[in-house]
Structure 1
Amino acid sequence: MKRIFMIAAFLFLNLLILSAQAQKTGSETDKKVDALIAKMTLEEKVGQMTEVTSDVVSTTTNGVHEIDPAKIKEAILKYHVGSILNVSGHAYERKHWYEVISAIQAEAGKDRLKIPVIYGIDAIHGVTYTVGSTLFPQEIAMAATFNKDIAYKAGTITAYETRASYIPWNYSPVLDLGKSPLWPRIYETFGEDPYLIKTMGASIIKGYQGNDISDKFHVAACMKHYLGYGDPVSGKDRTPAWIPDRYMREYFLPPFAEAVKAGARTLMINSGEINGVPIHASHYMLTDVLRGELHFDGIAVTDWRDIEYLHDRHHIAATQKDAVRIAVNAGVDMSMVPYEYSFYNYLIELVHEGKVPMSRINEAVHRILKVKYELGLFERPVGIPDDYPKFGSDEFKNVSLQAATEAITLLKNKNNILPLKKDMKVLVTGPTANTMRSLDGGWSYTWQGDQADVFAANKNTVLKAIRQKIGQENVSYEPGATFDSLLNVNAVVNAAKNADVIVLCLGELSYTENVGNIDDLNLPRAQTDLANELAKTGKPVILVLAEGRPRVVTEAESHSNATLMTYFNGNEGGDALANILFGDANPSGRLPVTYPRFANALVNYYRKNLENGNSDDSHGYNPLYEFGFGLSYTTFAYSNLHLSKPELTENETLTVTVDVKNTGQREGKESVLLYSSQSYASIAPDFKRLRAFDKVSLQPGETKTVTFKITAKDLAFVNDLSKTVTEPGEFKIMIGDQVQTFNYKSDLVPDRAGKL
């Protein structure tokens, strides 16, 4: 009798919770979700919160991958798994993806409530795990375009091709602050500036999700990695960071806040720990800030094994079961377990023991099911193959080529040596010259991108693109060095004797996550030695840097006549570079990071005035190239910077206009960057901050007026009480070489707590 009473009480409490949720969220989708949850057992609910990797439900024999009937039956019918992710081995053909997803969803259709599985994939620069897809520049290169429209188009195409692979959930974009150049995932970010990140991030999210993610051409975006992942103290992946709350809110939080406003439906959690607290265990970050302040109502999913790591790595949970309790109560909705079902078993026990409330389970499951309904998975769990005729099309490839072209950043061009003449004899050399791995980077066909030369064999490396551009007879090639050792240097030097110019390609091989950790930011010595030997030949050297982060190249770069940064520029990166080298395209990229001169002088551009150095300090801010720097084959002049008023108040908008003229001889694109600085504030102000940008195309002699709108909110900072305030005082607006000053005044002066 007592047991019956307890069950009745449990069901009554469950109905009260669902009723309260329905009162708060009254949409038709919410009502459908609540009705479904009311039918679910605890086991079915916890299954929805469980995500396993595809290896758990697959077998691979002699290189042939397929869904294992017994394993998928166990996952779905026994454990009611709500999500599966990843790829086994390497990229699949679309046909195989159709078979995989169809088998999974067919099994889901046999479960009692027929809830579809939501499949997730890291399509971070195109559909990285589908053969023949359109691979775009990595995010760091996309940021260098300073072109919001390209980011949106890339997001739209990636969504189309992801759905064409029958997958509705994309673990992208990365919104981490790429603050530390040592960090191996910096190439996955939109750079070091919060405004650039949030603007490009919001654009690509809108491309991914469109106006309705239930249609067959869009996917659910996943903003990651919330929060503070990109600035570990050591620079190593998944290692501790020390970030004061004020800094977290000033620099790290804005991209995520903007992504929530843009409608991102899911979020992945930072694998690291901040100030000793793993984010997966932080109720403050996952509930108070994410839900209470940002009002995010989508799915919060862990990263790989990160609940398990609360015990194994972070040592804040004495047992694996306790790790599950801590994470779920902190605000985790779905666990990327990913190899077995311990999370499922532990969580059911914890609910029965009263250590995880049913309200927390219902809340998490509501979010998961709502996204599944929004994606249209209940009506269309598998797409129709013939609905995607543009997959891998020339139309899509041309957008990738445009992005790759606008990303390439010209850093030096002594005596206008570039563009080169097409009848020149060119020696191509260096470890990044003839591999797609240094164009695509990690997350390309495989996790580490180590099979890019196989899967992208029909694409042009830098060497192949140059040969195609000016003819094989005009191009000689010697590798000169691997990434960390010299090869036959004499052969390179001898080849240089017959060349008019040397294209020296240095940089990095593909990598990601902890595999990309390094102990020295300097370019490997062998590559610098190759540059030094080539400099001795007296032939002009065009230095091409294909790398995912700004490796210190000061010595090698000092010998170059021209320097170009290509980042990890995607499958069309070789052609884009050849077009720029020989004048068929005009470079317009700008650095989205500060390029350091020395390995121990790593300062972001939004530095404090103290970091500039003084008369007694010769070691102040002195990068090789500053954030936002980039040259063109034409020249631009700025004039007539005008502010609509000399004073701004809290309810007004300041209109800023500036004229930009193409003063050169060829068409070009110019990224117009607006910076502001505050002269004095209660917190030491940043030297300058990017507040707006736009990109314009100008014919020779053409002038355009570029207009920006600035409000008091755009000038705000986070004070020492973690409150966002705009303090009265003098401000500067800086665009190009133009500077204007205005005053911000407010009759409602906030106190230190941010209250008026």
Structure 2
Amino acid sequence: MLDSRISRRAALMGAGAVVAWSASPARALLQAAGGGRVPAFVDDLIRRLTVEEKAGQLSLMASAWGGSSAASLNPPGNSDFPKQVEEARRGQLTGVFNGNGARMHRTLQTAAVRESRMKIPLIFGADIIHGHRTIFPVPLAEVASFEPELARRTAEAAAYEASGTGLDWNFAPMVDVARDQRWGRGVEGGGEDVLLNRLFAAARVRGFQGSNLKSDAHMLATAKHFAAYGAAEAGLDYNTVDISERTLREVYLPPFKAAFDAGALSTMASFNEISGVPSTGNPWLMNQLLRGEWGFDGFVVSDYTGDEEMIAHGFAKDARDATRLAFLAGVDMSMQSGFYRTHLPSLVQSGEVPQDRLDQSVRRVLAMKAMLGLFDDPFRRISERREESRSMNRRTLALSREAGRKSIVMLKNDGDLLPLPRSGKRIALIGPFAAGQHDLIGPWCVYGDDKKAVDLATGVREAVADRNSIVVAEGSGIVEALPGGIEQAVAAARTADIVVLAIGESQNMSGEAQSRTEIIVPEPQQQLAEAVAAVGKPTVVVLKNGRALALEGAVANAPAILVTWFLGTETGHSIADVLFGAYSPSARLPVSFPRESGQQPYYYAHKPTGRPNPEGKLEEYKARFRGLTNTALYPFGHGLTYGRIGYSDLALSARGMPMNGEISVSARVTNSGRRAAEEVVQFYVRDRTASVTRPVRELKAFRKVALAPGASQTVRFVLRPADLQFIGLQNRPTVEPGTFDVWIAPSAEADGLHATFELTA
């Protein structure tokens, strides 16, 4: 795990103060790439570029010769590749994204550096969200591991594969906090908690970028979407965001600051508006906060046609106005609309956009190309040989399997049904995800392929002693019933000793533009579950999902439930490792599973109200829905192991802490079971009374500890006043004396072990 104390300090400073630029990883990257200054030749280039060529350096387009899934994810708008090559020759492009490999990159780069007037190299970007050819668990799943170091390793492996094809720049990580599970893009991020989002944002940036951006095995990272995209009203993608500056600073900005402190030198403007101003045209966000207050020294790119969309927002009157607003707001580069190369020259000529402001953005982009080593060797990452040799090798496949099994959360295991025996039992795999190379790699995979992934049936058959002991029945489609499907599934269940019911969401139910009004198992699959449960065989539900789900009926009542998300290339092997006990589940929920869809947005770190429902029976005129307690079905941080974990012996080093002191809180964690296990020990704090109301709990730290059967370990957390900092009445960081609750617990809503202490002035 990362050093939680360093990470915690960095994020607290990120809430309102500025981390010293001279000490940041970003500065170290700049120094590694050439002394931390813009190379002198960049200004010479800028003096010789025409205004039209400068606008070209700020214009990024989808590749007309795209990757296998690129056209469906980001339509290029122009499939005429020879025309795009000509645009490179004319200096009308800074680069392209989601292109089709090394050969394509070489063709375009050759046109730019050997056939254009200024010989400026192109930059090649892509959405490498959770893998290139080898696909790792979706980011939300990986966060369930509670291992930021795992995310660093998978990001580094993804960059290794992708950079071998010529890719210099990654549109990841997504660091948007997502507290409404209806929103489909939560699958790309770090869940509902600020601390987890910060730690995983920093880890992924370090993995993608490495220690030297000139490395041909790494790529530039982009923290996205700046900012508060995950706070869209009603969980509806692209929708309005209207939140206080305090909430913005306390919840949605810290993961970005953590990413920038880790070295990210690119960020992407979000689609949404904040308090009536679209992010793409928001000078307070981009200039005052990002560059002024935080000292960000990288460049800002719009999201796909984000500048154009300000017209539909009702913020810009036409394309020219949208260009002016976005550019002056601080968006250096336009993605896909073509607005900058069309309208910036005339805006500069008219004086509406100052020439020095244009030069400033061009300088940022050219400096980044220099940092990436593109002026030294424009073909440094383009290699058909490396493209082949780095693709899906033994090491990355093993990492995919490891990451997959570490991402699986066991919600329930009544009667120790799991792990399953490898022999002596007939197992029925039932459900639309029981077999078949579909819905394995998850959403937002430009270059991945389900046909190269391992399905559940394959993984299970390889794990058992007798492959003939496995029977498969589809039972239903994902969103439609199959003629005779339930009857077939029921017959299979009757012949089996154990049922593994593989149900949930398809991969196209999560991701961009995939908001759901009801976050439930689709009705045909629910009906399948009810019919199979009626047979009466022990049943393990294996959920495939890109968000938290509201479980009900036979699904919720199954004796064992595994949350397997979308695990990538090694899906079947990873799930089988957990099902049959080769690996004891160690993941925990990064999002709260609600009791009903209508609870959304639901998250553990909510504020108290003046009328909370006390523990016990439901009371009238309290803050709850009709007939429902205001708690999760399975809360954030929940997850079981194959061990028997107990907490005891809570101890505080003192009952009071001065403003210049610290306090340690410890507990003894014991595995009394017969199997080795890993426990995620979580440390929560609540500020009981403050000048601004505080959440009912906040995760401040965690430790993942390995425990042999019968073993115990004392886990200690150190708390300092800076860890109790929050955004006060003047939107500035503050720490106030008072009474604080602390918990060492296995989840955000578990009682665990509880104590209090006083922070004194």
Report the counterpart of residue 147 of structure 1 in structure 2. 147
**Deviation at residue 438 of structure 1 after TM alignment:** 3.0
User: In the alignment, which of 726, 742, 745 is matched to residue 735 of structure 2?
Assistant: 726
Report the counterpart of residue 595 of structure 1 in structure 2. 593
Q: Which runs of 5+ in 1 are unaligned?
A: 1-24, 128-132, 447-451, 747-756
TM-score, length-scaled by structure 2: 0.87
Pairing of 1:194-205 with structure 2 (within 5 A): 194-205=194-205
Separation in 2, partners of 1:335, 1:254:
25
Aligned pairs, number: 696
Separation in 2, partners of 1:59, 1:486:
30
Report the counterpart of residue 105 of structure 1 in structure 2. 109
Q: Which amino acid aligns with 2:646?
A: A
**Deviation at residue 57 of structure 1 after TM alignment:** 9.5
Instruction: Give secondary structure in 1 for the equivalent of 2:757.
Output: strand
Report the counterpart of residue 486 of structure 1 in structure 2. 481
Does residue 242 (structure 1) correspond to residue 242 (structure 2)? The answer is yes
Q: Which has the higher contact order (CA 8 A, sep 6+)?
A: 2
User: In the alignment, which of 451, 459, 468 is matched to residue 457 of structure 1?
Assistant: 451
**Deviation at residue 37 of structure 1 after TM alignment:** 2.3
- CA gap 1:559/1:658 in 2 versus in 1, 3 angstroms: closer
Separation in 2, partners of 1:364, 1:643:
53
- CA gap 1:486/1:57 in 2 versus in 1, 3 angstroms: closer
Q: Is the deviation greater in 32-41 or in 114-123?
A: 32-41
- CA gap 1:374/1:650 in 2 versus in 1, 3 angstroms: farther
Report the counterpart of residue 752 of structure 1 in structure 2. none
Report the counterpart of residue 62 of structure 2 in structure 1. 53
Instruction: Give secondary structure in 2 for the equivalent of 1:639.
Output: strand
- CA gap 1:591/1:648 in 2 versus in 1, 3 angstroms: same
Instruction: Give secondary structure in 2 for the equivalent of 1:202.
Output: helix
Report the counterpart of residue 7 of structure 2 in structure 1. none
**Deviation at residue 716 of structure 1 after TM alignment:** 1.4
Separation in 2, partners of 1:490, 1:70:
55
Does residue 275 (structure 1) correspond to residue 268 (structure 2)? The answer is no
Separation in 1, partners of 2:67, 2:140:
34
Report the counterpart of residue 74 of structure 1 in structure 2. 86
Q: Contact 2:682–2:699 (CA<8 Å) still a contact in 1? A: yes
Q: Contact 1:67–1:103 (CA<8 Å) still a contact in 2? A: no
Q: Is the deviation greater in 258-267 or in 431-440?
A: 431-440
Pairing of 1:416-565 with structure 2 (within 5 A): 416-423=416-423, 424-445=425-446, 455-470=449-464, 471-487=466-482, 488=484, 489-511=486-508, 512-565=510-563
Separation in 2, partners of 1:368, 1:185:
28
Separation in 2, partners of 1:69, 1:426:
52
Q: Which amino acid aligns with 1:270?
A: S
**Deviation at residue 243 of structure 1 after TM alignment:** 1.5
User: In the alignment, which of 32, 37, 46 is matched to residue 46 of structure 2?
Assistant: 37
Q: Which amino acid aligns with 1:738?
A: L
Q: Is the deviation greater in 636-645 or in 226-235?
A: 636-645
Separation in 1, partners of 2:67, 2:588:
44
Separation in 2, partners of 1:30, 1:239:
41
Instruction: Give secondary structure in 1 for the equivalent of 2:229.
Output: coil
Pairing of 1:95-494 with structure 2 (within 5 A): 97-109=101-113, 110-127=115-132, 133-311=133-311, 313-338=312-337, 341-382=338-379, 383=381, 384-386=383-385, 389-423=389-423, 424-445=425-446, 455-470=449-464, 471-487=466-482, 488=484, 489-494=486-491
Separation in 2, partners of 1:71, 1:712:
60
Separation in 1, partners of 2:650, 2:345:
64
Q: Contact 1:635–1:663 (CA<8 Å) still a contact in 2? A: yes
Report the counterpart of residue 722 of structure 2 in structure 1. 713
Q: Contact 1:528–1:553 (CA<8 Å) still a contact in 2? A: no
Report the counterpart of residue 17 of structure 2 in structure 1. none
- CA gap 1:282/1:704 in 2 versus in 1, 3 angstroms: same
Report the counterpart of residue 629 of structure 1 in structure 2. 638
- CA gap 1:658/1:541 in 2 versus in 1, 3 angstroms: same
Q: Which amino acid aligns with 1:394?
A: R
Report the counterpart of residue 73 of structure 2 in structure 1. none
Q: Contact 1:147–1:694 (CA<8 Å) still a contact in 2? A: no
Q: Contact 1:432–1:508 (CA<8 Å) still a contact in 2? A: no
- CA gap 1:257/1:515 in 2 versus in 1, 3 angstroms: closer
**Deviation at residue 26 of structure 1 after TM alignment:** 8.3
Q: Which amino acid aligns with 2:605?
A: Y
Separation in 1, partners of 2:169, 2:182:
30
Q: Is the deviation greater in 65-74 or in 528-537?
A: 65-74
Per-residue CA deviation, residues 231-284 of structure 1 (Å, 9 max, x unaligned), is 211222111122121111111011001111111011111111222221111111
Q: Contact 1:531–1:559 (CA<8 Å) still a contact in 2? A: no
Q: Contact 1:282–1:330 (CA<8 Å) still a contact in 2? A: yes
Separation in 2, partners of 1:352, 1:258:
39
Q: Which amino acid aligns with 2:474?
A: P
Separation in 1, partners of 2:474, 2:67:
41
Q: Contact 2:438–2:451 (CA<8 Å) still a contact in 1? A: no
Separation in 1, partners of 2:754, 2:273:
41
**Deviation at residue 573 of structure 1 after TM alignment:** 1.9
Q: Which amino acid aligns with 2:699?
A: L
Separation in 2, partners of 1:717, 1:234:
26
Instruction: Give secondary structure in 1 for the equivalent of 2:64.
Output: helix
Per-residue CA deviation, residues 692-726 of structure 1 (Å, 9 max, x unaligned), is 12222222223333343333222112234322211
**Deviation at residue 360 of structure 1 after TM alignment:** 1.9
- CA gap 1:508/1:360 in 2 versus in 1, 3 angstroms: same
Q: Is the deviation greater in 432-441 or in 166-175?
A: 432-441
Q: Contact 2:544–2:563 (CA<8 Å) still a contact in 1? A: yes
Q: Contact 2:241–2:272 (CA<8 Å) still a contact in 1? A: yes
Separation in 2, partners of 1:171, 1:668:
36
Instruction: Give secondary structure in 2 for the equivalent of 1:153.
Output: helix
**Deviation at residue 166 of structure 1 after TM alignment:** 1.3
Q: Contact 1:183–1:231 (CA<8 Å) still a contact in 2? A: no
**Deviation at residue 484 of structure 1 after TM alignment:** 1.6
**Deviation at residue 216 of structure 1 after TM alignment:** 1.3
Q: Contact 2:172–2:224 (CA<8 Å) still a contact in 1? A: yes
**Deviation at residue 422 of structure 1 after TM alignment:** 1.6
Q: Is the deviation greater in 540-549 or in 459-468?
A: 459-468
| Identical pairs, percent | 32
- CA gap 1:124/1:458 in 2 versus in 1, 3 angstroms: closer
TM-score, length-scaled by structure 1: 0.88
Separation in 2, partners of 1:514, 1:457:
23
Q: Which amino acid aligns with 1:675?
A: Y
Instruction: Give secondary structure in 2 for the equivalent of 1:613.
Output: coil
Per-residue CA deviation, residues 330-370 of structure 1 (Å, 9 max, x unaligned), is 110000024xx443121111111111112221221121111
Q: Which amino acid aligns with 2:127?
A: D
Q: Contact 1:144–1:408 (CA<8 Å) still a contact in 2? A: yes
**Deviation at residue 632 of structure 1 after TM alignment:** 0.4
Report the counterpart of residue 27 of structure 2 in structure 1. none
Does residue 677 (structure 1) correspond to residue 686 (structure 2)? The answer is yes
Separation in 1, partners of 2:367, 2:654:
47
Separation in 2, partners of 1:317, 1:626:
43
